[in-house]
Amino acid sequence: MAPPVALLRQVRLDLLCAHDATTDDFKAFLASQRYIPSITNGSLHLSPFVCDELVSALAGDCSKFGRAACETIAGLCTEPKAPKNAAWFVVRSYYAAFYCAHAFLRLFGNTCTNLDGAEFTKLKEAVNAYSHPLPSKGFYKIAISRDQQSLDFEKLKNSHEDTWATVYELLGELRDAAATVTAPKASRDETVQLLSDLRATLSDNGRFEKGNYLSYFRNQVQYRFAEKTWYPYGSKAFPPPISAEEIAQSVLDGRYQRLTGSSEIVKFLNASLEFAQLTLDLVDYSAERGLDASTHLNRDYKRIRHIYA
């Protein structure tokens, strides 16, 4: 099912389409030093010299994470010799959702980015040239203004938990904005309900106030061997009644049907794969802008989509 119009109209097509630059991704943009840094109330801000370069960078990131999500979903499988082993199915589903979380943020003008490599060295050089206090390496939330003239940096701590917290916050903002978007009332209402349901899912109905339920459950399975997903297997929810390959293809085709059952594994898989499907639908929407779509989306992302069609 296609995303409602009141959500589509909030996608930052200005950051994904109609540019002439060829900046590979956001870290390449930072490494280019083609911006003016400033400090306000202790926080770093950047003003790009050429907005097209920022647009290309965001589109490149969105394409990169969208492609990674597609390839991760396509690899969902069960172990023929141990079909009740759900562990890596859970982990792979999580990473599909996590890559989609990064794509989702960029669709709406945000990034969560770890800065500690060559791009960070170049960023410090640029900041130092203007005699500003140097930023520290680490994980940052970066918001791009509506006029593309400002990038606002906020230091975070945990790459997974804080990424989901940022997504959770953004879903609330999109939900509130949907009420005033120019769209039919039915679409506005559908969007509000969709985003409210997503927030409930990612927070496990408020149990995780930062929206990091998926990260928590993946950690429980991967590192604490929870839910009897490793040998000796004990989960009655796995394997699912349809094949892993069919599940994967249904997500990639935009026709995923919720798995039935009330177990934690089923709840987690539905949450991960429904979020992934919605995000890929939104990236598809941006990539289908014809000649206006970013080269990154119109060429690289669509190539991967066609491979797994």
Encoding tokens for residue 67? 């492609």
Residue 215 confidence (pLDDT) above 70: yes
Residue 64 resides in a domain = yes
Residue 130 resides in a domain = no
Residue 115 resides in a domain = no
Residue 79 resides in a domain = yes
Q: What average pLDDT does range 253-261 have in this prediction? A: 93
Cβ distance 46 to 151 under 8 Å? Answer: yes
Report, in angstroms and rounded to the nearest whole number, the Rg of the chain calculated over CA atoms: 20
Residue 27 resides in a domain = no
Q: What average pLDDT does range 22-33 have in this prediction? A: 94
Cβ distance 32 to 60 under 8 Å? Answer: no
Q: What is the C-alpha to C-alpha distance for residues 51 and 145, in angstroms, rounded to an integer?
A: 11
Confirm whether pTM is higher than 0.85: yes
- Domain extent for 67: 5-18+60-109+158-307
Please write the tens of the pLDDT for every residue from 101-157.
999 999 999 999 999 999 999 999 999 999 999 999 999 999 999 999 999 999 999
The count of structural domains within the chain is 1
Residue 70 resides in a domain = yes
Residue 290 confidence (pLDDT) above 80: no
Q: What is the C-alpha to C-alpha distance for residues 81 and 89, in angstroms, rounded to an integer?
A: 14
Please write the tens of the pLDDT for every residue from 219-236.
999 999 999 999 999 877
Residue 291 confidence (pLDDT) above 70: no
